[in-house]
Structure 1
Amino acid sequence: MKKILALLLIITLMFSLIGCGKAKQEDASSASGNTSNTENSSENNNETKDGEPVKLRIVMKDLSPSNPGDVKYIEELEKALAKKDINVKFEIVETPSGNYAEKLNLLLLGEDIPDIIYFQGGDKQIAEQGILEDLTPYIEKSEIIQKAMLPHNKKRMENYPYLIWLKPIKTKAPVVRSDWFEASKTGKALLDNPTIDNYYKFLKELKEKDFSGDGMPKYGLTVSGNIIELDSIFNQAFGITGAWVKDSEGKYVYGKVSEFEKEKLAFYHKLYKEGILDPEYLTKKWDTKEKAFYDNTVGLIIGSTGKVIDIYDGKMKKANGQEASLTVLPPAKGKGQGYLPIDVTKESRGIAISALSPNKELAFKVIEFLASDEGQMLDRLGFEGEHYEVKDGKIHLTEKSQEWFAKFFEVHSWEPTKKIATPLLSEPAVDSMKKAEKYYVEDTNFMIPEGFVASWDAMTNLYKEYSADIITGKKSIEEFDTFVKQWYEAGGKEITEFANKLLK
């Protein structure tokens, strides 16, 4: 009898332990958001229990529920997804007007977190709070995304797995009207040997020569609000080959406090003083910069390679005739040569998925679809009957096609199933992309650690203040040394020591 009771007790304990283990597994699964065993989970089903589409909330800089074109795009995307049995209904979350990164962060920190989030800065703070999903396991299972990723995309994902942005190498390149370039005396020398001095001579000629016959342009070039665009031409030539450069002793020094930077700012001041650089460059916005170009009040502007330069080309020809098609210029050559170096620490912008979303798998299916042939057809070409027409089995782009831009991805290897009668991008746009690859340089930089962020922001603002004042002549070039001293005192000494340990 005692043996039977003992056996029953052992059996009872065994079932209790099994039950506890199962309960713990279910609790852990629930805590981690794993609902794979839940019958009606939207992670496994592309529709809700009652057959209705699953609602996905999306926030993006260029998507507004009040813009009819954006609403139409989302509706077309829903239809295209439905054909792939991805049954979703998007809700576009609008951010208040103003700085997108700042307004988005206020939205997210206020705990209004959409499923799919487009970032254009400010994402690191959100990622550090565990709000963004690590996309690595999703990408590993997706042949479409892996095929679409270029080497720089893969490196960025390895370093920072929260944002995905499938586009060819993007940098900024200078463009000028082809008819003016060909009529210039200094253009050929610039192409043959694009030294800093030859660039100066060409820009000076753009200012001084009346190419249009109406007394224009007034200035050689303009930029939109800061000197980053100028830097895309001249940084490498002056020796600023990355965020951090080596000094004469072989130690890393921040490029913006180097002797190379001092020499470059002196050159920019020369352009400003002689009226070659538009004196209103600090207050120019992207639209007023472009208007000055199309109106022929400046001879040269700098734009993002690919689609942006395609838009510039189309608008310039519309304003000034077909002969005004653009010529893309190479970067200046000196101590180095290249456009702005490419940062591979992380994507500077991109699509993220909320780690708190109950529909993460479904959200990734949407992202994956956008990289597919069908997704690219919509995202790259726009609306049939408006941006393109299909005639005789071929795709014919309309005039409105140059007003369209991909809201999400531009997969480098994508080609539509039907032949495009007219090229998807203009010759200048294609040339700019080829030049971006030719002059590709990886940056020497790193993500600023949390402990340095506050001082880094102050140091960055200090640079902006001094550089603007030196270029415009409010401060002499000799005061650059004062700036360097203040920069090191504001935290530059500690971060330079950190950089030399990290980059060695």
Structure 2
Amino acid sequence: MRKKMMMLSAILLVIALMGTACSSGGDKGQSPESDVESKGFTNGKFDPPITLTTVGSVGSNYVFKNGETLENNVHTKWVKDNLGIDIKYNWVTSGDQFATKVRLDLSANNKMPDVIHIYDPQLMSDLIESGKFMDISSAFDKYASPKVKQIYNQDPMYWAQVTKDGKHYGLPTLSRAQQNDTLLWIRTDWLKKMNMEPPKTFDDLEKIMDGMKKTDFGTGPVNPPLAISIKDANMPFVQWRGDASWIFGGYGIIPHYWNKWNGDKLEYGSVQPQMKQALAKMQDWYKKGYLSADVGLIDVGKSDDTFRNQKSGIMTGPTFQASVVRSALNKNNPNAEAAPFPIPAGPSGKPGLRNTTVPGGAFLINKDFKHVDAFFLYINKMYEIGDPPKGSEFENGYAEGYDYVIKDGKVSSVEADFPDKQKVNVASYFLSGQPFVDPELELNSYVKLYNGEKPSTPFETRMYNAVPESERKDPKNVLEWKAAYYTLQQKDNTLANLFLGPPTPTMKSKWEALVKMESETFLKIVYGKASIDEFDTFVDKWKKMGGDQITEEVNDWYNSVGGK
């Protein structure tokens, strides 16, 4: 018996020694997963590739070449070949069905993807509350590159939507700063014919609109002079195109926005006294025919159609409206001239316009995902590509033949120079569906070019090459550059929406009815179907129907995320 016990002890000792030898580095294939991860991250590529699952959506604006899809394209191939990350989509649907499909997966307790990009604040909040997604605070500290940390540390409010109990349950996606800040785009050839200068005040603007209605420009009646849209049911006066919020901004208020209008407390812009004056002004403009008769029925995306077709002399919109002038207006009339101008001052004595919210959506990471370092390798690399160094393979753009071509030995991003006349927004293939860049980079680059400086970085060169060569001869008249200059000039006149959180408890049950009442009341006032005094009745009802309680809840959220 004793002999058997000694033999068993010897066997156990040998097994223990063998285990020690293996853990000392005998078989590398048995290395702990954390070591494999760190090597992939450190080396800048996972070998063999790891899989990252996600879900996605495509809209009518997506363009694919060479039989590609969202699941298999020039970007996903590059990521797998160069980073060792194999992006797999569990499903892809249309943009309007995306949130519904995510909710179905959540309610059915289906396995969530490793990484999911969400825009909807309520859905984002519900996913965070589900407990299926991780706090990325420590991962961000460990894996985010210095460049990424510098960008995300510019404003603590970037993190507001994903913050819960002081923890960060996602990585916000950041838009270009001031990308939707509004300008007036005016037919300058019409101004010349009327012998008028660009407007400095609302009074100047009214004289111009009145002159446009009374002047024959050889293109038929001008109807309406001002092309805007107030159709959207949720925020009808605040739009990315055809925006009307600057009219209210001229009175020191922005409808639908939460801000400290009267002190240290957030209040809802649409119920402030200044709104009544602004609505009266819009009602007056509508009666005088300065606005379209069906301004409340025009789709936002079609708000500038009358400007394109030379029925309107003024449209509103941000820097990207330069494409409307170049590709639509000038196509209909090669001799037409138009340019951007700052928003004029209102009765408050200064201009006021909505401020573009930089954080828009976020990446949530599945708490069971074992390769969070792979996600950050992707993020770090994408921000590097967004502003690449000289000599980078992305110096000219994301992919030749997609967002740039070589024509006559020169790089061009002008769509007309593409052999198939089709330029592709490669960034729409990214996990975020948009470029990864420092929010301030594009605007500052445009202004530099506007001031006559030559591009000194690949990013600036991209911006430069996106403009037809014939226009670059006079930097002060390049539409995008001029628009960027004015956008930056009016930055101090922007008014921000400080509520970026999910719907509050009372909002969930009351907000839809409140917004419906607001939209219907305001539209009746603009159309002249209700007295301007109807605004006072609306405010009283809004407060009693839950508005006061919502205001308290909004401030509770704001204070909880460190708002100042």
Give the TM-score band, short-chain normalised: 0.7 to 0.9
Counterpart pick for 1:481 among 527, 536, 540: 536
Measured at CA, do residues 409 and 373 of structure 1 come closer, stay the same or move farther in structure 2, by a change above 3 Å? same
Uncovered stretches (5+) of structure 2, i.e. residues with no partner: 1-30, 163-167, 429-433, 443-456, 469-477
Q: Which residue of 1 aligns with 2:26?
A: none
Tell me the alpha carbon deviations over residues 153-195 of structure 1, each in whole angstroms, 9 at most, x when there is no partner: x5312664432224233233234354445435375150xx2x2
Aligned-CA RMSD value: 4.2
Measured at CA, do residues 322 and 149 of structure 1 come closer, stay the same or move farther in structure 2, by a change above 3 Å? farther
Matched, 1:397 2:413: yes
Matched, 1:228 2:226: no
Matched, 1:464 2:519: yes
Counterpart pick for 2:285 among 244, 265, 271: 271
Q: Which residue of 1 aligns with 2:401?
A: 385
Q: Which residue of 2 aligns with 1:337?
A: 351
1:128 is displaced (CA, Å) by 3.3
Letter of the 1:459 partner, please give it. L
Letter of the 2:506 partner, please give it. F
Matched, 1:169 2:182: no
Measured at CA, do residues 82 and 500 of structure 1 come closer, stay the same or move farther in structure 2, by a change above 3 Å? closer
Q: Which residue of 1 aligns with 2:382?
A: 370
Distance in 2 (CA, whole Å) between partners of 1:64 and 1:53 is 31
Preserved contact between residue 65 and residue 94 of structure 1 (Cα < 8 Å): no
Q: Which residue of 2 aligns with 1:295?
A: 309
- Give the 3-state SS of the residue equivalent to 1:292 in structure 2: helix
Give the count of matched residue pairs.
461
- Give the 3-state SS of the residue equivalent to 1:98 in structure 2: helix
Tell me the alpha carbon deviations over residues 357-404 of structure 1, each in whole angstroms, 9 at most, x when there is no partner: 444332333233222227878799454235422357742223258954
- Give the 3-state SS of the residue equivalent to 2:458 in structure 1: coil
Measured at CA, do residues 57 and 488 of structure 1 come closer, stay the same or move farther in structure 2, by a change above 3 Å? same
1:62 is displaced (CA, Å) by 4.3
Preserved contact between residue 177 and residue 356 of structure 2 (Cα < 8 Å): no
Distance in 2 (CA, whole Å) between partners of 1:150 and 1:321 is 47
Tell which deviates more after alignment, 266-275 or 362-371: 362-371
Equivalent residues in 2 for 1:50-199, closer than 5 Å: 51=48, 54-62=51-59, 68=65, 71=69, 74-82=72-80, 84-91=82-89, 93-96=91-94, 98=96, 101=99, 104-106=102-104, 108-110=106-108, 111=110, 113-122=112-121, 123-140=124-141, 141-149=144-152, 151-152=154-155, 154-157=156-159, 160=162, 161=168, 162=170, 163-183=172-192, 185=194, 187-190=196-199, 193=200, 195-199=201-205
Preserved contact between residue 173 and residue 328 of structure 1 (Cα < 8 Å): no
Distance in 1 (CA, whole Å) between partners of 2:248 and 2:506 is 25
Measured at CA, do residues 183 and 434 of structure 1 come closer, stay the same or move farther in structure 2, by a change above 3 Å? same
Distance in 2 (CA, whole Å) between partners of 1:150 and 1:40 is 29
Tell me the alpha carbon deviations over residues 289-342 of structure 1, each in whole angstroms, 9 at most, x when there is no partner: 243331223333322x34x32432332355235544541221231324232034
Measured at CA, do residues 171 and 288 of structure 1 come closer, stay the same or move farther in structure 2, by a change above 3 Å? closer
Preserved contact between residue 253 and residue 269 of structure 2 (Cα < 8 Å): yes
1:238 is displaced (CA, Å) by 0.8
- Give the 3-state SS of the residue equivalent to 1:93 in structure 2: strand
Distance in 2 (CA, whole Å) between partners of 1:155 and 1:252 is 15
Preserved contact between residue 227 and residue 303 of structure 2 (Cα < 8 Å): no
Letter of the 1:453 partner, please give it. M
Uncovered stretches (5+) of structure 1, i.e. residues with no partner: 1-35
- Give the 3-state SS of the residue equivalent to 1:349 in structure 2: strand
Distance in 2 (CA, whole Å) between partners of 1:133 and 1:325 is 53
Letter of the 1:409 partner, please give it. P
TM-score, normalising length: structure 2: 0.68
Preserved contact between residue 412 and residue 466 of structure 2 (Cα < 8 Å): no
Percent identity over the alignment?
A: 18
TM-score, normalising length: structure 1: 0.75
- Give the 3-state SS of the residue equivalent to 2:82 in structure 1: coil
1:352 is displaced (CA, Å) by 4.1
Distance in 1 (CA, whole Å) between partners of 2:251 and 2:294 is 24
Preserved contact between residue 134 and residue 366 of structure 2 (Cα < 8 Å): yes
1:474 is displaced (CA, Å) by 2.7
1:135 is displaced (CA, Å) by 4.5
1:470 is displaced (CA, Å) by 1.4
Q: Which residue of 2 aligns with 1:28?
A: none
Preserved contact between residue 280 and residue 532 of structure 2 (Cα < 8 Å): yes
Counterpart pick for 1:38 among 27, 33, 40: 33
Matched, 1:453 2:469: no
- Give the 3-state SS of the residue equivalent to 1:276 in structure 2: coil
Preserved contact between residue 341 and residue 443 of structure 1 (Cα < 8 Å): yes
Distance in 2 (CA, whole Å) between partners of 1:253 and 1:370 is 38
- Give the 3-state SS of the residue equivalent to 1:188 in structure 2: coil
Letter of the 2:487 partner, please give it. A
Distance in 2 (CA, whole Å) between partners of 1:322 and 1:382 is 32
Distance in 1 (CA, whole Å) between partners of 2:459 and 2:46 is 36
Preserved contact between residue 353 and residue 495 of structure 2 (Cα < 8 Å): no
Distance in 1 (CA, whole Å) between partners of 2:107 and 2:485 is 41
Preserved contact between residue 178 and residue 327 of structure 1 (Cα < 8 Å): yes
Distance in 2 (CA, whole Å) between partners of 1:76 and 1:118 is 20
